[in-house]
């Protein structure tokens, strides 16, 4: 397995992977257009040149970024793929000088392993909620906000 930055040809695969989880309400759906626009945010994990997972580090402000669209193909779950992707996002955040990284998630146990801690959603800047209007759960979001101080 190897983790690398996404390239344009990965976009359709990311779209399929992310939206499989979006159908279940686990991830926010992404349009193919938005994936192309944000392709530089994405990391992919490959196994034998096949995309098996993805994540994105989205910069929100000078000291704040979000890890989002973390998805692993079901036949590769529980093999460390998600951890590799989160680690790459955190490495990139440190390289960029980001001081805080947050997630909106249902997988609190997973992110706790990286020392993320739960916070009230209201403590995050309003800019964070720009995409939420596209969510079917808006405004009754039941995801849990977690943050990591780097």
One digit per residue, the tens of pLDDT, for the chain of length 150 reads 999 999 999 999 999 999 999 999 889 889 999 999 999 999 999 999 999 999 999 999 999 999 999 999 999 999 999 999 999 999 999 999 999 999 999 999 999 999 999 999 888 876 555 665 555 555 566 789 999 999
pTM, whole model, 2 decimals? 0.91
Which of 144, 76, 23 minimizes the C-alpha distance to 85?
Answer: 76
C-alpha distances out from residue 11 to 54, 67, 69, 128, Å: 10, 18, 13, 23
- Say how many domains are in the chain: 1
CATH number at residue 16: 3.40.630.30
Query: Domain span at residue 119?
Result: 2-149
pLDDT of residue 66: 95
């Amino acid at each position: 397995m190897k983790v690398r930055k996404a390239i344009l040809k990965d976009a359709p695969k990311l779209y399929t992977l992310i939206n499989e989880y979006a159908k279940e309400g686990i991830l926010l759906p992404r349009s193919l257009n938005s994936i192309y626009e944000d392709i530089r945010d994405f990391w992919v994990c490959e196994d034998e040149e096949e995309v098996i997972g993805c994540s994105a580090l989205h910069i929100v402000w000078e000291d704040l970024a979000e890890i989002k669209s973390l998805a692993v193909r079901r036949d590769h779950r529980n093999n460390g793929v998600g951890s590799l992707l989160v680690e790459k996002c955190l490495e990139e955040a440190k390289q960029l000088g980001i001081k805080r990284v947050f997630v909106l998630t249902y997988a609190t146990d997973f992110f706790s392993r990286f020392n993320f801690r739960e916070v009230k959603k209201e403590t995050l800047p309003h800019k964070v909620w720009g995409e939420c209007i596209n969510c079917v759960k808006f405004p009754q979001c039941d995801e849990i906000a977690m943050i990591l101080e780097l």
